[in-house]
Structure 1
Amino acid sequence: MIPTPPDCGSARSAAVVNDEIRALMRRPEVRLSGEDRARYEVLVAEWTRAEQAESLRDGIVEAA
């Protein structure tokens, strides 16, 4: 089963998601299992959304 990202209301920061990605990729010489690969893809998508949200938020703060 492919894991799903958390709801938008409980979004994690890009830094937290990045830490989880790094932990998953701790040993790059070892191939990821199918389950780990699916988790990696979910994390990358979550990280992208978090980065976009943080950039938007930072832009709004600077504009204020």
Structure 2
Amino acid sequence: MPLDPQNPGPVRPAAVVNEDIRALWAGHGGDPRVRLTAAQRAVYERLLIEWEAAVRADIVAAA
């Protein structure tokens, strides 16, 4: 899902994005010493941004 800070579009739940992050790392056996490829790192960074947006949306909804 492309993320545009000006037009973020629908936000997936943080738990769903977290599962995607876990799945990405699971491919490496969960070892934090293993480095992601450049393409995987780009996906990871995009997922982190999406996760942060989902957490913010949860906070706003709870307020």
Q: TM-score, normalised by structure 1?
A: 0.74
Misfit runs of 4+, over 4 Å: none
Q: Which residue of 1 is the match for residue 19 of structure 2? A: 19
Q: Normalization by structure 2: what TM-score?
A: 0.75
Q: Percent identity, aligned pairs only? A: 40
Q: When you count helix as a share of all residues, which structure comes out higher?
A: 1
Maintained 8 Å contact 2:11/2:53: no
Q: Deviations over 1:10-53 (max 9, x none)?
A: 21000000000000011233321100000000000110010011
The 1-side partners of 2:20 and 2:3 are apart by 13
Counterpart of 1:20, as a letter, is D
Runs of 5+ consecutive residues of structure 1 not aligned to the other structure: 60-64
**Cα RMSD over matched residues?**
2.0
